[in-house]
Structure 1
Amino acid sequence: MKMLAALAALASLVLVPVPSAGADDPWLPTAGPVFNNPMGGVKARTTVIRQVHAAIRHTPPGATIRIATYNIDRRDTARLLLRAHRRGVNVQIVVNDNIVGRVIRDLRSRLGHDRRAGSFLHICTASCRSGSPAGNLHLKVYSFSRTGAAPSVLISSSSNLGYGAAAGQWNDAFTVVGDDALFDAWTTVFQQLVRDRVANPRHLEYRGEVVGVDFQRLRGAERRRVLLRGKGTGDPQLKRLRRVGCATAGGFGDGQGHTVVRVNMYAWYAGRGEALARELASMRAEGCDIAVVGSVVSGSVVRILQRAGIPVRIADWDWGEKLSTAGDDIVFGSRCYSHLKYVTVDGTFRGAAGRVVWTGSENWSPPGRSSDEVTFEIRDPAVVAAYDAQWQRMYGSDRITHAPGVRPRSRPCA
């Protein structure tokens, strides 16, 4: 493991953008979390994508936009990126090779594919940094060396730059502004993605006072153990859960000494998913107050959770034929669902009482361990409260979540 940075910017730099001296454009991005609502109007549906679009519009000539995402199919996003390129912005994009549609092909033809140039679009092989055909480039990070009056802007999201992400998915985006050390760490990872070959170390880590970030992929025998049997201590999600203490101090948790854990997870299945569910069951037995919202959650995972007394609600609707994730087949599945991947803890974590959320691109399923992924760990009460409020909106609404075991054909994301 390699530590890219030991100290972070103060909380004010994470959540309150500070204008750069001499900036011509006074615009500042909104730092912190935002969530879209696919059941709402245009503004509610496009909350996440508008965050990215605004940053693209305000990127000045000479600055650099770096995008790493699973897919881009929005024509409006492509137009903004090409306008930025024409006004002198370096536009550098890395995408996954599963879905290479018209928008990606057009961007590649206009930006070029020379990775030594200022602008380019590179189609990665599998997970870019693994050197094997397994896994995907699955993180969704949109960064700007400068946008408006703000330097070092990084947006990490559960959302790809696709129309479906706004029309049929619940997603989040978390924006950090002015944290140069974090931005440098991300730039190192991006350069590895661009090289598109085996990268070592396999796990790059940034730890700050408020924000910590893990860029991970698994390798070799460790990856096979986790994918095939759900075992192995190398699973960072399992490690995080094991650092939750179920007894906590007054002023935290449920007010009766119990840590509160809330999970909102898109894909959760197979051996790895079952191992994570068993860990939550063990935590429930130790006194943690745990409840779950999921989407693609296997029956075996649901049974493990429910047998432990953990309430589960499912956010998937409008089951029918749809394009597969790889983009090359028609499958039967949910066309309106939660795509979020986060956990909040109110209580004891890493040996201290506090409040934390971890969020990013990684699902609790086998592909999450063979792909290039990112997880943000944020210790800010206001941020945690925002994620908890989103969880409660979904868990407490019969229009958004339902009991496990049914496949609603209705479409709330109409």
Structure 2
Amino acid sequence: MRRMGWVCAVLLVVLVGTSLERAGDLGAADPAGASVPASAHDSFTVTRAMTMNDPTRHRGTIARQLRTYIEHTPSGATISILSFYLSSSITWPALRAAYQRGVHVRAVLYGGPAGTPMAGVSSEGVKLAELIRQGRDHGRRGSWVVWTRRTARGVDATGTVMHAKVWQFSRVGRTRKVTMIGSYNNGDPPDARAYSAMVTLTDPRLYADAQSMFVAAAKDRRDGRNPQRRFSGDGWDLYYFPSTPITPENDPVLERLQSIPGNADTRMVISMYSMQGRRGAWLARRLAAMVERGAHLTLVVGPDVSGSVVRTLGRAGATLEDGCWRTGRKRSPYAYTHDKEMTATWVADGVRHHAAWIGSDDWGNGSGGSQSDQATIGLYSTWAYQRLTRLLAPQIAHEPDRLGRCDPL
């Protein structure tokens, strides 16, 4: 892969080898007496939501949402974090307070080529690991941090990473089994620079399926011959990478695009940080064929979308929007899309359908996409389509559209 954005930053930092906790009790049950209390005084509830971090107008929105959920997680409940890194000054105080009041905090974080704590990137992750280590010294159990060596469930090739972004809460206020999935890296730098989204759902089956992948990732070893996994439920489907190999025959994104008619009744919006390599090419060819048959496509071109993809879609007649803009700010000179999101509406058998997809999968076959840990969910509802369409609108409305290159770091 030509450039991997945040991954490049990760691979350049100095690895810090202290405060590693390998979670010897990964499969252990919560300690006796740690059941979730009734918490009748906490009337807070969670409903479905979709949120976008907008670095130009509403930075930190997702971090504050996470903070609220963490603050309403009662003692004895569990927070499960599958994240590239943790470096948010907004969520860290809430996580620390939650652990101190008896919440179990379990995290699987990227640990670089050596699988060790990365203070230069995952600064709050290192603090969390140290906090948990101190608790274990005093007999506290039920919390842990795993630093993966490159991927969690795949082949540890050069440049592969634990890139998924999934937060789960066994209970928030009065609501049980809360799952958040999306493209948001939890940190102050992405809050300041990157558009990214998360969807929050309270589906028990989704919670269980995502938990199964969290447990597998915490083992930090290859999960079968091909670790690609798929799940589905009422109004949603979900896939997890790595996929080794990734081919046109097993690519869930190509399967998605082939299921959508390529005609004038179809409208698609894609905001994509990275689209390149062989996989990016076959997806671009399918999209181009759909556009040439009358479908309307708007693509927000992120910093790592290859020139060949831009040319293929531009020649077909797609609307191309700039996904990297100068801000005029000294400390964060660029704002850019870190989204890997898509909306679509189409007609099949005389019925109009609506869908939205949100997750961490960059559309490439390299280390930033199919070879690394990813999670992407498809939502088949008018609500999801309309909500994500509204959240993507500021990126599409931004002018001018020069499609200039930028370094988001």
Fold shared by both chains (TM-score > 0.5): yes
Residues 352 and 146 (structure 1), Cα distance of their counterparts in 2 relative to 1, 3 Å cut: same
Tell me whether 1:38 sits opposite 2:55 in the alignment: yes
**Counterparts of 1:38 and 1:379, CA distance in 2:** 28
The alignment's TM-score, normalised by the length of structure 2, stands at 0.80
For 1:344-363, list aligned pairs within 5 A.
344-348=343-347, 353-363=352-362
2: CA distance, partners of 1:209 / 1:351: 22
Look up the match of 1:311: 319
CA RMSD of aligned residues (A): 2.8
The equivalent residue for 2:146 is 122
Contact in 2 for aligned 1:319/1:407 (Cα 8 Å):
no
After superposition, the Cα gap between the structure-2 partners of 1:272 and 1:168, relative to the gap in structure 1 and judged at 3 Å, is same
Instruction: Establish whether residue 272 from structure 1 lines up as the match of residue 285 from structure 2.
Output: no
Q: State the one-letter code of the partner of 1:341.
A: K
* Residue identity matched to 1:35: M
Distance 1:158 1:197, change over 3 A: same
Q: Aligned partners of 1:32, 1:77: CA distance in 2, in Å?
A: 18
- Once residues 382 and 91 of structure 1 are traced to their aligned partners in structure 2, the CA distance between those partners, rounded to angstroms, is 32
How far 1:22 moved relative to its partner?
6.9
Does residue 1:150 correspond to 2:175, yes or no? yes
Matched pairs, number: 355
Q: 1:109 aligns to what SS in structure 2?
A: helix
What is the CA distance between 1:402 and its match in structure 2?
A: 1.7
Q: Equivalent residue of 1:313, what SS?
A: strand
Structure-1 residue corresponding to 2:256: 240
Whether 1:288 and 2:318 are equivalent positions in the alignment is: no
Who is 1:369 aligned against? 370
Establish whether residue 190 from structure 1 lines up as the match of residue 214 from structure 2. yes
Q: How do 1:323-342 and structure 2 match up within 5 A?
A: 335-342=334-341
Match for residue 103 of structure 1 among 120, 124, 145: 124
What amino acid is aligned across from residue 106 of structure 1 in structure 2? K
TM-score between the two structures when normalised by the length of structure 1: 0.79
Q: 1:393 to 1:76 in 2, by over 3 A?
A: closer
Question: 1:243 & 1:350 partners in 2: Cα distance?
Answer: 13
Q: CA deviation at 1:29?
A: 2.8
Match of 1:13 in 2: none
Instruction: Please report how far the alpha carbon of residue 407 of structure 1 lies from its aligned counterpart in structure 2 after TM superposition.
Output: 4.3
Deviation track 1:297-343 (CA, whole Å, cap 9, x = no partner) reads 221111111111111111212399x99xxxxxxxxx97420111111
Amino acid in the other structure paired with 2:378 = E
Amino acid corresponding to residue 83 of structure 1 in structure 2: A
Find the residue that maps to 2:85 and give its secondary structure.
Answer: coil
Compute the displacement of 1:132 (Å): 2.4
Encode CA deviations 1:335-366: one digit per residue, 9 max, x unaligned.
Answer: 42011111111104799640001110111122
2:43 is aligned to 26
Which one of 201, 206, 213 corresponds to residue 238 of structure 2?
A: 213
Deviation (angstroms), 1:273: 1.4
Q: CA deviation at 1:24?
A: 3.5
Q: Secondary structure at the match of 1:369?
A: coil
Contact 2:182/2:199 (<8 A) preserved: yes
Contact 2:236 2:380 in 1 (8 A): yes
AA aligned opposite 1:278: R
Question: Per the alignment, in what secondary structure is the counterpart of residue 298 of structure 2?
Answer: strand
Ranges in structure 2 where 5+ consecutive residues have no aligned partner: 1-36
Aligned partner letter, 2:340: K
Structure 1 SS opposite 2:87: coil
Indicate the residue corresponding to 2:310 in structure 1.
302
The aligned amino acid for 1:309 is: G
Note the C-alpha offset of 1:62: 0.6
Q: Is the 8 A contact 1:291 1:310 kept in 2?
A: yes
The alpha carbon displacement at 1:383 in A equals 1.6
CA distance in 1, matches of 2:49, 2:384: 7
Matched residue type, 1:192: A
What SS class does the counterpart of residue 171 from structure 1 fall into? strand
